[in-house]
Structure 1
Amino acid sequence: MKLAVVSAGLSSPSSTRLLADRLTAATLGHLDAEPQVMEVRELATEIAQHLVTGFPPARLAAALDTVAAADGLIAVTPVFAASYSGLFKSFFDLIDKDALTGKPVLLGATGGTARHSLVTEHALRPLFTHLRAQVQPTAVYAASQDWGEQGLARRITRAGTELAHAMRPAAPHTTPGTAAALAPRSPTGAITSADPANAIRTVPFEQRLAALRAD
């Protein structure tokens, strides 16, 4: 199972990458998956070339393929002008229109003030809903003053748990009557057991009819 992590922080180190790493750790605490982290700032030149030429350089193509092939995605952006960054948006503009359909996605954002805490809901969530992703209920915004606070830690844990559960394969669902419908049957149509020790003794209809006639 593969987990793609997209961090759009512009500095190194950055709070955006820190949040992405903590969300990844929270997810992997409940799921055995291989994380693949992509720093969008390292792909800035390739993104610009693709936007101009229409052809992705090899490194960008590999990153786009990684996101498309992943079983789940964590996407984290810094806040610029009360929305996601232009570099973050440009990267996801290049994703194939069907690549995120049904894919579990955990959203995160970082900013300098709590006033932008709703950016995950009014900017990020609509973007990924448009891409038909399965956006998780809990999105995490981290302002500068949030680091080290228990509230942020709890939100990260809850969000990671939600993504882990969404990425797990669904258990087979058996509807009422399915077991009987799939049970082995004798040539006469009577349900039998695959295990001889638990076999149900059946009497063909012809034998029962003959017995009644004999009486």
Structure 2
Amino acid sequence: MKLLGISGTLLGAKTAILVDAVLNGVKNNNPDVEVELLDLRGYDLQFCDGRDPSTYNEDTRKIIEAVSQADFYLIGTPIFNGSIPAPLKNVFDIVPPSVFRNKVMGFVANGGTYQHYLVVENQLKPIAGYFRAFVAPSYVYAHNDHFNRENEIVDTEVLDRIHHLAQEMVYMQNALKNHSHDLFKIH
């Protein structure tokens, strides 16, 4: 069982730190779950223009492959100007929607205002719904104040939400894996 955490930005470190914290929570409590961090800062992701995926550059093909091979997802995003950044939207555009179908998807986000958590509710959850993904009910939103100067998460409530999300995602994935033959049977 493979959990792919996607840090969906090219700027800053807080998003990858949040994603990594949840991945570590999963790994620490579920050593049988393979976790991988896909940090878009380390890739030359080409812009989705509708062409055959095999014609994109190597980094873009690696991203498509990593997303396609995962069993469930943790999507991390900063919130810029009340929205998700273009690199994350580009990943959603470049990967075939069928890849996400019937898979668990959880979210972490960070931003500079306390109201930006609404982007998870108003943008990310509807995108997951379009993909027909199963959305973890909990998510983590962290404000800049929840990090110290070294970008360490210091807020205990955020740390508790990270722990809860890690448990919830694995629970959902295990339940789906154990009952998928009943859920997706054609009658």
TM-score, length-normalised on structure 2?
0.82
Give the 3-state SS of the residue equivalent to 2:79 in structure 1: strand
Partner residue of 1:118?
A: 118
1:47-62 correspondence to structure 2 within 5 Å? 47-48=46-47, 50-51=48-49, 54=52, 55-62=55-62
Q: Which runs of 5+ in 2 are unaligned?
A: 148-153, 182-187
1:151-162 alignment to 2 at 5 Å? 151-162=157-168
Higher RCO (CA 8 Å, separation ≥ 6 residues): 2
Distance 2:19 2:81 in 1: 21
Q: Which runs of 4+ in 1 moved over 4 A?
A: none
Q: Is the 8 A contact 1:78 1:110 kept in 2?
A: yes
> How many angstroms does 1:23 deviate by?
1.1
> Deviation of residue 81 (structure 1)?
1.4
- Which whole-Å CA distance do the structure 2 matches of 1:15 and 1:94 have between them? 24
Once residues 136 and 90 of structure 1 are traced to their aligned partners in structure 2, the CA distance between those partners, rounded to angstroms, is 22
Contact 1:9-1:41 at 8 Å conserved across structures: yes
> SS of the counterpart of 2:73?
strand
Could you tell me how far apart the structure 2 residues matched to 1:66 and 1:155 are? Answer: 26
Preserved contact between residue 41 and residue 87 of structure 1 (Cα < 8 Å): no
Aligned residues: 170
- 2: distance between equivalents of 1:73 and 1:52? 23
Does the aligned pair in 1 maintain the 2:111–2:142 contact within 8 Å? yes
Identity of aligned residues (%): 25
Residues 50-129 of structure 1 aligned to structure 2 (within 5 Å): 50-51=48-49, 54=52, 55-129=55-129
**TM score, norm. by length of structure 1:** 0.72
Decide which moves more: 110-119 or 99-108: 110-119
Name which one, 1 or 2, has greater alpha-carbon Rg. Answer: 1
Equivalents in 1 of 2:136, 2:50: separation in Å?
Answer: 33
The gaps in structure 1 that reach 5 residues or longer are 174-215
**Take 2:170 and 2:180, find their aligned partners in 1: how far apart are those partners?**
18
